[in-house]
Structure 1
Amino acid sequence: MDTPALSTHAVYLFVKGFIRSTWRAVNRFNDTDGWAIASHMAMTALMALFPFLIFLTAFAGFLDLGDLGRSSVSLLFEAWPTSVAGPITREINTVLTVPRGDLLTIGILLAIYFASNGVEAMRLGLTRAYGSAEHRNFVILRLQSIVFVLIGTLAILTLALLVAVGPVAWTFVQERTVVHDLSGLAESSGLSSWSFYGFVTSKLGVFVRYVVTIAVLGGALIVAHKWLPAGHRSLRDVLPGIVVTLLAWIVGAIGFATYLGRFANYASTYAGLAGVMTALVFLYLLAAIFLFGASLNAARIEHRLTKAMTEPEPS
């Protein structure tokens, strides 16, 4: 068989395998009540969002990093469609202007607890998707969720700090590396140095922020898939669903923003609740994609185990 025929056959096998894997994932998603669990996750995430941000800003204020806490809140919603993030951000800013006092008050401790409900909802969804049987003590599970909230807070503050330090570091690089020489070349060609710096900084800055955001989300998804539900899964087991989740989230966010801009008019249906309902539908979309990624992983694991059991042992 010649090379073109081999290539065509390989493409055929890939497409066939992809369709089969997707179909198995769809069936598993429906069999494990994926749509119902996604609605639970969306509602819980929306209810946990405000307590989490209250704790985040209180923790930043405790470290005397109040401005960094507010920057973290803005950073969290940069990847959201503007029509979704706008109304929620306004309400969040109103809530966060209320003085909270010391970090270890009853209100802040309750905020941590309610924020951990979002992690528990993710655990429930992943446990159902993977078909795991949870036997761990509920106190241990809740403490683990609270630890994840604390780790997430530190990660977001660190990311916001890196974003704040980034322009300063870029200016340092501009003045001492080849970028400065390129600026001189651009100026001698009739382009202003400021325009060149602005172009490079804006394009590079946007690219770096998106890359860092995707990397952080990918790391969070790996942690969630490996350690939230019961059972053991290797990185090889969870990586395909995580990649699909990230890609589908990007496409879904763009598609939802386009839908809101051209077709949807939630204000005519929900009046003053339009902003909240828009955010809830968006979170529902993200949760469904998240659970589909887990269903894809579970379907692949199940198929691999079934295939290994049915194949005859070598003599």
Structure 2
Amino acid sequence: MHGLRDVFWRLLEEVSDDRVMLVAAGVTFYLLLAMFPALAALVSLYGLAADPLTIAGHLRKLAILLPPGAFDIVADQIRALAGRREESLGVAFFVGLALALWSTHSGTLALFDAMNVAYEEKEKRGLVRLNLVALAFTLCAIIGAIVIIALVAAVPLLLSYVWLDRFEEDFALLGRWPLLLIIVTSAVMTIYRFAPSREPARLRWLTWGAALSTLAWSVMSVGFAFYLDHFANYNATYGTLGALIGLLVWIWLSITILIVGAELNAELEHQTARDTTTGPSRPMGARGAYVADTLGRRVE
């Protein structure tokens, strides 16, 4: 228990010393720049394979994951893309995909910086390797978004072709949300393992931070939506920008939670003298990761 107390107090100190909320605000800026071109790419991809008029309906099912009114920000873009002729969607896809890769690449690099801050690392990867890893993350993020959209939107369609009674169908529909959380947790663990410039940590040293981040993000999303519905009125304060401000705050809180999860993983590694990195066991000082090569201070 004393070790857990040390981890807890060091975690609070690191969150303050690393200015986590300020770092999260910087990452949020780059992610906001990436959002709209990424949306154009995703909608265009759907339009190449399905009736463009159905895209808005499919994406609307994801509105429950966003703060109230946030979906309205992207609704105009969705309607504009859905209203285009199918021939133009092919061009929109490639242009949107190129813009999304470029913009999200900047957001990915900002996220890498945030992970380096959490794990007390300096960027040691060369320019080529760093950008290749960032581009790989960007592509995986776009593919992951497509998988999530398909999971939420396509499951009801698939179930319509399978004979199930009402209870079984409701149970199957409910099951996609735990599956979504598993996908989110896996994505978070991937970020924690490969984003920081260090020797990757073993799986067991990633799970606690990823579980905390996923759980806290779920609670935050529900709580923030409730807060906006019942207490805050951003539209009264910011006018037509109210929904955008709500979305911006939601992204900022999400990134803050993600960084805090990384800080937790780092302090758990910092608490043990065992080698927490992948590969053969190595002595402290030769593991290629600051929190694995040093021991955190004891809190008296």
Structure with greater helix percent: 1
| Same fold at TM > 0.5 | yes
- On the 8 A contact 1:40/1:121 being kept in 2, the answer is yes
Moved over 6 A (4+): 306-310
Partner SS for 2:32: helix
Closer, same or farther in 2 for the Cα pair 1:118/1:92, shift >3 Å?
farther
Residues 231-261 of structure 1: per-residue CA shift (max 9 Å, x gap): 1211111111000001101111121112112
Distance, in Å, in 2 between the alignment partners of 1:229 and 1:105 is 30
Give the drift of 1:95. Answer: 5.5
Closer, same or farther in 2 for the Cα pair 1:69/1:173, shift >3 Å?
closer
**1:148 maps to which residue?**
137
Give the drift of 1:157. Answer: 2.8
Q: Name the structure, 1 or 2, with higher relative contact order (CA <8 Å, separation 6+).
A: 1
Closer, same or farther in 2 for the Cα pair 1:54/1:229, shift >3 Å?
same
Closer, same or farther in 2 for the Cα pair 1:37/1:170, shift >3 Å?
same
- On the 8 A contact 1:59/1:103 being kept in 2, the answer is no
Distance, in Å, in 1 between the alignment partners of 2:184 and 2:105 is 18
Partner SS for 2:125: coil
- On the 8 A contact 1:41/1:121 being kept in 2, the answer is yes
The answer for unaligned runs of 5 or more in structure 2 is 274-290, 296-300
- On the 8 A contact 2:66/2:247 being kept in 1, the answer is no
**2:207 maps to which residue?**
239
Question: What letter matches 1:27 in structure 2?
Answer: E
Q: Provide the identity percentage.
A: 25
Distance, in Å, in 2 between the alignment partners of 1:159 and 1:31 is 35
**2:287 maps to which residue?**
none
Partner SS for 1:252: helix
Distance, in Å, in 2 between the alignment partners of 1:111 and 1:309 is 39
Alignment of 1:26-105 (within 5 A): 26-62=12-48, 64-65=49-50, 73-74=59-60, 76-81=62-67, 83-94=68-79, 96-97=81-82, 99-102=88-91
- On the 8 A contact 2:21/2:256 being kept in 1, the answer is yes
Give the drift of 1:299. Answer: 1.2
Structure showing greater Rg: 1
| Equivalent residues, number | 272
TM-score normalised per structure 2: 0.78
- On the 8 A contact 2:15/2:263 being kept in 1, the answer is yes
**1:204 maps to which residue?**
172
**2:111 maps to which residue?**
122
The answer for unaligned runs of 5 or more in structure 1 is 1-12, 180-196, 311-315
Closer, same or farther in 2 for the Cα pair 1:141/1:309, shift >3 Å?
closer
Stretch moving more, 116-125 or 280-289: 116-125
Closer, same or farther in 2 for the Cα pair 1:283/1:159, shift >3 Å?
closer
Distance, in Å, in 2 between the alignment partners of 1:165 and 1:227 is 30
- On the 8 A contact 1:26/1:295 being kept in 2, the answer is no
